[in-house]
Amino acid sequence: MKEALIRPALPDDAEALLAVYAPYVEHTAVTFEYTVPTPEEFRARIASIRGKYPYFCLETETGVAGYAYAAAFRSRAAYGWSAETSIYLAPEVRGRGYGRRLYDALEAACRAMGLQSLYACITVPRGEDPYVTEGSVLFHRRMGWEEVGRLPQCGFKFGRWYDTVYMYKSVGGHGAAPGPLLPWTPEK
């Protein structure tokens, strides 16, 4: 049996990554997208993010089964040392430690670039809900993240309102004057 591999995602992985992501769009409130992007749109997203931030995929014996990436947190210059993270796993590989491995790789790459703060915006249910659970919040807590804010009723999907919570993790020293960010090079 082939060991699972964490590797930089490539634009050519778009269709495989989209196969992981599409069920989240169609059947969950984890993402607030209503329509599954086309493979071309997804390929462009990957290429754009990889131009500056780390983007990893999980490859198991059955193929690509998940991915995680960092992206700009906000566009203003002072936010330059912060990034927002995302992670998606195929249902059949959840609970095997792959999410931890993806996030460990992502956090290490962000730290090596000189990023200081990571944020995750996570949909949470407002009571019992068939479209989202507290699973992502619990995962982030286990990874050492802390909840730092809640945006009530900020997203509407499947005929209901959803809250999001922001979670935070420091990956840098937050010195008096941070150095310039190093480019992320997937080859490392």
What is the 3-state secondary structure of the chain?
A: CCCCEEEECCHHHHHHHHHHHHHHHHHCCCCCCCCCCCHHHHHHHHHHHHCCCCEEEEEECCEEEEEEEEEECCCCHHHCCEEEEEEEECHHHCCCCHHHHHHHHHHHHHHHHCCCEEEEEEEECCCCCCCCCCHHHHHHHHCCCEEEEEEEEEEEECCEEEEEEEEEEECCCCCCCCCCCCCCCCCC
CATH fold for the domain made of 5-170: Aminopeptidase (3.40.630)
Q: Global pTM? A: 0.95
**pLDDT (tens place) for every residue of the chain, 188 residues total:** 468 999 999 999 999 999 999 999 999 999 999 999 999 999 999 999 998 999 999 999 989 999 999 999 999 999 999 999 999 999 999 999 999 999 999 999 999 999 999 999 999 999 999 999 999 999 999 999 999 999 999 999 999 999 999 999 999 989 888 889 998 888 65
